[in-house]
């Protein structure tokens, strides 16, 4: 099962890379596409919890927060993070910790 999670995260990473590279041409769709990809990452993290994939969860959370680098990204994260709280993967304290330690936004927080 381990490969399943890592392969899916790799594919989602490639989708984000493509989105970032093509950001200027997407304009209005950028926000919604970014939100869609990050929502899929969150669902993958929640699914991984049910299989006890703790190492994967840590890596995927790190990836998610490293890709929360602007106000718009933070807005998206705040809109979609509820499943992580419901699954007890994150709480307010750990959210703040991940933002402070791994997000490029940390310099402004």
Predicted confidence (pLDDT) per residue in 17-69, tens digit:
999 888 777 677 889 999 999 999 999 999 999 999 999 999 999 999 999 99
> In degrees rounded to 5, what are phi and psi of residue 67?
-100, 25
**Where in the sequence is the domain holding 99, given as residue range(s)?**
2-107
Domain count for the chain, please give it.
1
Residues of the chain above pLDDT 70, percent = 95
CA–CA separation, 15 and 21 (whole Å): 10
Task: Give the per-residue pLDDT at 42.
Answer: 99
């Amino acid at each position: 099962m381990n490969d399943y999670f890592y392969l899916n995260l790799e594919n989602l990473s490639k989708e984000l890379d493509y989105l970032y590279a093509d950001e200027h041409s997407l304009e209005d769709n950028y926000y919604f596409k970014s939100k869609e990809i990050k929502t899929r990452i969150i669902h993958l993290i929640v699914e991984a919890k049910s299989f006890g994939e703790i190492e994967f969860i840590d890596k995927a959370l790190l990836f998610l927060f490293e890709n929360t680098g602007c106000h718009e990204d933070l807005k998206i994260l705040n809109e979609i993070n509820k499943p992580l709280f419901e699954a007890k993967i994150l709480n307010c304290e750990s959210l703040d910790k991940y933002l402070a330690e791994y997000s490029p936004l940390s310099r402004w927080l």
